[in-house]
C-alpha cells in the first residue's frame, strides 16, 4: 500500500482525501497557496507545504511545485482530487517518471478521453451507444452541410478539446450551419488552441445520466449505478441524485454491463464516470470523466462504497474490495452544491463567513472545508460545501433535505441555500419531472 499521500488540491475534496488516508493509516501531505495558509486542509493533514502564490497557475496547477513538495516530504503517491491537475495526462506521466504513484487512471486513458473525438471513436469500438453524428472530425463547411442534410436538423457542432459544454454551437436548420460551424471552429481554436470539431444530432429534451465505474489492476470492473445530474445551470451542476427516477433495474443492469465490459476491454484503471444523455429510454454516450467527481458522495451513500478508499487501494495494486454481486443499491441520495454566490444572479460572493452552523443528524452529510470566521478567497471556485442527504426513498430524502435546509446557517456571504429552499417546493422537482433544460427555464421564469 502507498504510505504517504500528497493531496494536490484544496477545499472539501482535500479533506475528503485526508479523511480516507487517516482511516487507512496512511500519512497525508497538504499543499497550499499563500491564500490558503488558514485553510482546513492545511490544518487537518499530517504535514503541509506552501507551493506558491494565490493564482492557481502558480500553485495548485504547478507541476514543478507539486513534484518538489513530494520530494521534500517523501510522499510516494499523489491524489489530484477533481479539477486542477486531475485530468492532466502529462502530470500523470511526470509522476510516473519520478516513481510517484498517481492515484488515478493511466495517462493513456486520460489522454484519449480528453479528446472528445477520440473518446467517441473508442466508445464505439467498445460497444457503447453514442449520439448519431459525424465519423470523427469535420474539416469543412461543405462537409458539415452534407452531414446536416443527411442526418436532419437540429445538430450540434462540438469542439474535440471541449467538454463540459465549452465550445458547442447549435444549428437549428441548414441556414444556421455555416455560422455554427465557423464560430465553433474559431472559438475552439481561441479557447483550446485546437480547432477540431465534430457534429452530432441534437437531442432536444434528454436527461444527463452518468454511470460510476471502478476498476482494479487485476481485470475487475464494477459499476455502482447512476447519478442523475440533469439539474444544471450554464453547465454547472446544481443538484444531483442517485438513483435516477427514470431507470428501472433492468435498464440499469443493461447499461452497467455495457460500460463494465467496455472498461475491461480497454483495461481501464481506477474510478471513472461515463456520461450519457438519456432520451426516450435510450442511452447516448457523450463523454467520459477520468477522475473522482464532485458528486461522488451520493453514489457512496446508496452503495456503502468508500470511493476514495477504493482509489487508494487500486493505485496500490490491491483488488477491489467487492464484486458486482456485492453491490446493492439501497435508498436515495441527493447532493446540493452550496456556493458562495448570489442565489438570483449566481455572481460569486467571496468574503468572510461570520456565522456557520451546518445541519446534521441521521442521513445528513456535509462535505465542506469552511468554518465560522473563514475568509473565502476570491481566487478559486465558489463551492462552500456539498449537502448530501440520504433517505430510504426519494420522498423521505426530500423531506430530510427540507429539514436540513431549515437548520443551515451561513452568514457573511451570499449563498445558493435560498435556491434549494425554493426548489424542494416545486412540483416538477417533487415528481422528478425534469430534463437538462428544466432548471434554466425555471430560473428564467421568475421576475
Ligand atoms: C448534447 C446535447 C444535446 N445533444 N449533445 C453539454 C455539456 C456537454 N457535456 C454535452 N452537452 C450537451 N450535449 C447532443 N448531441 C445537450 C447538451 C447539454 C447538456 C448536457 C448535459 C447537461 C446539461 C446540458 C445543458 C445544455 C446542453
End-of-domain residue from the set 201, 228, 251: 201
Three cell numbers written together for 441: 427555464
The CATH number of the domain holding residue 285 is 3.30.470.20
Pocket test for ligand 1, best of 169, 188, 208, 287 (most atoms within 8 A of CB): 208
pLDDT at 166: 77
Residue with the nearest Cα to atom 6 of ligand 1? 165
pLDDT tens sequence across 152-203: 999 999 999 987 777 899 999 999 999 999 999 999 999 999 999 999 999 9
Helix H or strand E segment including 434: none
Residue with the nearest Cα to atom 5 of ligand 1? 202
Report if residue 104 sits inside a domain.
no
Report if residue 37 sits inside a domain.
yes
Report which DSSP code applies to 241: E
End-of-domain residue from the set 175, 201, 227: 201
Q: Kindly list the protein residues whose Cβ atom lies closer than 6 A to any atom of ligand 1.
A: 131, 156, 163-165, 200-203, 208, 232, 235, 277, 286-287, 436
Report if residue 107 sits inside a domain.
no
Span from the CA of 328 to the centroid of ligand 1 (angstroms) = 30
Q: Are residues 337 and 288 in the same domain?
A: yes
pLDDT at 75: 98
Q: How far apart are CA 373 and CA 39, in angstroms?
A: 11
pLDDT at 447: 44
Give the phi and the psi of residue 249 in degrees, each rounded to 5.
-60, -35
Q: Are residues 258 and 333 in the same domain?
A: yes
pLDDT tens sequence across 100-134: 999 999 999 999 999 999 999 999 999 999 999 99
Short-list 206, 222, 225, CA closest to 214: 222
Q: Are residues 170 and 265 in the same domain?
A: no
| CB distance 198 to 117 below 8 Å | yes
Three cell numbers written together for 381: 471556485
| CB distance 19 to 42 below 8 Å | no
pLDDT tens sequence across 272-296: 999 999 999 999 999 999 999 999 9
Span from the CA of 222 to the centroid of ligand 1 (angstroms) = 26
Three-class secondary structure assignment of 396-414: HHHHHHHHHHHHCEEECCC
Calculate the CA 350 to chain-centre distance.
23
Q: How far apart are CA 92 and CA 290, in angstroms?
A: 12
Pocket test for ligand 1, best of 138, 227, 277, 295 (most atoms within 8 A of CB): 277
Cis peptide before 243 (omega within 30 of 0): yes
SS3 percent helix, strand, coil of the chain, rounded to 5, is: 35, 30, 35
Helix H or strand E segment including 297: helix 296-303
Report if residue 68 sits inside a domain.
yes
Report if residue 159 sits inside a domain.
yes
Cα-based distances in Å from 431 to 312, 388, 398, 424: 38, 20, 11, 11
Pocket test for ligand 1, best of 87, 114, 163, 235 (most atoms within 8 A of CB): 235
Q: Are strands 4-7 and 77-79 parallel, antiparallel or unpaired?
A: parallel
Q: Are residues 236 and 311 in the same domain?
A: yes
Report if residue 245 sits inside a domain.
yes
Q: What is the mean pLDDT of each run of 10 residues along the chain (447 residues)?
A: 98 99 98 98 98 98 98 98 98 98 98 97 98 97 96 97 84 96 93 94 98 98 98 97 98 98 98 98 98 98 98 98 98 98 94 98 98 97 98 98 98 98 98 98 78
Burial class, 64, CB count within 10 angstroms (exposed 0-12 / middle 13-18 / buried 19+):
exposed
Residue with the nearest Cα to atom 19 of ligand 1? 436
pLDDT at 104: 98
Which atom of ligand 1 is closest in space to residue 437's alpha carbon?
25
End-of-domain residue from the set 31, 55, 88: 88
Span from the CA of 213 to the centroid of ligand 1 (angstroms) = 21
| CB distance 70 to 78 below 8 Å | yes
| Cα atoms in the Cβ-side hemisphere of radius 13 Å centred on 157 | 31
Q: Are residues 28 and 177 in the same domain?
A: no
| CB distance 283 to 206 below 8 Å | no
Q: Are residues 276 and 410 in the same domain?
A: yes
The tally of domains found in the chain comes to 3
Q: Are residues 30 and 149 in the same domain?
A: no
> Any idea which residues carry the catalytic annotation?
291
Please, what is the Cα angle at 363 between 362 and 365, to 5 degrees?
A: 110
The CATH number of the domain holding residue 45 is 3.40.50.20
Which residues span the domain enclosing 140?
A: 132-201
Q: Are residues 136 and 9 in the same domain?
A: no
Q: How far apart are CA 259 and CA 225, in angstroms?
A: 11
Q: Are residues 400 and 427 in the same domain?
A: yes
The CATH number of the domain holding residue 167 is 3.30.1490.20
Q: Are residues 336 and 196 in the same domain?
A: no
Q: Are residues 58 and 41 in the same domain?
A: yes
Span from the CA of 116 to the centroid of ligand 1 (angstroms) = 13
Q: Are residues 196 and 233 in the same domain?
A: no
Report if residue 35 sits inside a domain.
yes
CA Rg value for the chain: 22
Span from the CA of 158 to the centroid of ligand 1 (angstroms) = 10
Q: How far apart are CA 30 and CA 41, in angstroms?
A: 6
Short-list 426, 415, 396, CA closest to 336: 415
Neighbours of 49 (CB within 10 A): 19
Report if residue 434 sits inside a domain.
yes
Amino acid at each position: 500500500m502507498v504510505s504517504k499521500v500528497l493531496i494536490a488540491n484544496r477545499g472539501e475534496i482535500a479533506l475528503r482525501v485526508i479523511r480516507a488516508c487517516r482511516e487507512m493509516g496512511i500519512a497525508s501531505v497538504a499543499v497550499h497557496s499563500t491564500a490558503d495558509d488558514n485553510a482546513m486542509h492545511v490544518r487537518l493533514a499530517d504535514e503541509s507545504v506552501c507551493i506558491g502564490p494565490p493564482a492557481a497557475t502558480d500553485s495548485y496547477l504547478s507541476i514543478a511545485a507539486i513534484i518538489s513538495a513530494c520530494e521534500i516530504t517523501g510522499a510516494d503517491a499523489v491524489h489530484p482530487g477533481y479539477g486542477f491537475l486531475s485530468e492532466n495526462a502529462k502530470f500523470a506521466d511526470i509522476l510516473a517518471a519520478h516513481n510517484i504513484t498517481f492515484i488515478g487512471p493511466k495517462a493513456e486513458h486520460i489522454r484519449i478521453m480528453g479528446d472528445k473525438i477520440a473518446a467517441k471513436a473508442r466508445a464505439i469500438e467498445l460497444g457503447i451507444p453514442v449520439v448519431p453524428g459525424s465519423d470523427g472530425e469535420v474539416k469543412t463547411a461543405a462537409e458539415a452541410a452534407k452531414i446536416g442534410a443527411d442526418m436532419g436538423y437540429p445538430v450540434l457542432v462540438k469542439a474535440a478539446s471541449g467538454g463540459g459544454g465549452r465550445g458547442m454551437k447549435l444549428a437549428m436548420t441548414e441556414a444556421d450551419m455555416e455560422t455554427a460551424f465557423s464560430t465553433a471552429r474559431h472559438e475552439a481554436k481561441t479557447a483550446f488552441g485546437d480547432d477540431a470539431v465534430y457534429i452530432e444530432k441534437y437531442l432536444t429534451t434528454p436527461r444527463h445520466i452518468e454511470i460510476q465505474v471502478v476498476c482494479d489492476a487485476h481485470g475487475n470492473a464494477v459499476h455502482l449505478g447512476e447519478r442523475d445530474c440533469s439539474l444544471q445551470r450554464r453547465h454547472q451542476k446544481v443538484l444531483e441524485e442517485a438513483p435516477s427516477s427514470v431507470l428501472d433495474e433492468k435498464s440499469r443492469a443493461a447499461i452497467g454491463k455495457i460500460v463494465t465490459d467496455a472498461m475491461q476491454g480497454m483495461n481501464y484503471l481506477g474510478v471513472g464516470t461515463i456520461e450519457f444523455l438519456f432520451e426516450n429510454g435510450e442511452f447516448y454516450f457523450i463523454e467520459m470523466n477520468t477522475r473522482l467527481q464532485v458528486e461522488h458522495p451520493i453514489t457512496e451513500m446508496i452503495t456503502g462504497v468508500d470511493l476514495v478508499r477504493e482509489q487508494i487501494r487500486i493505485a496500490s495494486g490491491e483488488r477491489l474490495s467487492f464484486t458486482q454481486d456485492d453491490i446493492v443499491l439501497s435508498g436515495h441520495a441527493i447532493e446540493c452544491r452550496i456556493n458562495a454566490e448570489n442565489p438570483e444572479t449566481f455572481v460569486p460572493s467571496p468574503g468572510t463567513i461570520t456565522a456557520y452552523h451546518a445541519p446534521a443528524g441521521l442521513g445528513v452529510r456535509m462535505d465542506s472545508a469552511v468554518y465560522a470566521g473563514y475568509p473565502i478567497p476570491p481566487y478559486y471556485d465558489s463551492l462552500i460545501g456539498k449537502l448530501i442527504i440520504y433517505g430510504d426513498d426519494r420522498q423521505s430524502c426530500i423531506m430530510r433535505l427540507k429539514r436540513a435546509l431549515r437548520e443551515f446557517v451561513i452568514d457573511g456571504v451570499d449563498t445558493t441555500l435560498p435556491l434549494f429552499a425554493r426548489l424542494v417546493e416545486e412540483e416538477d422537482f417533487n415528481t422528478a419531472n425534469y430534463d437538462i433544460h428544466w432548471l434554466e427555464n425555471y430560473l428564467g421564469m421568475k421576475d
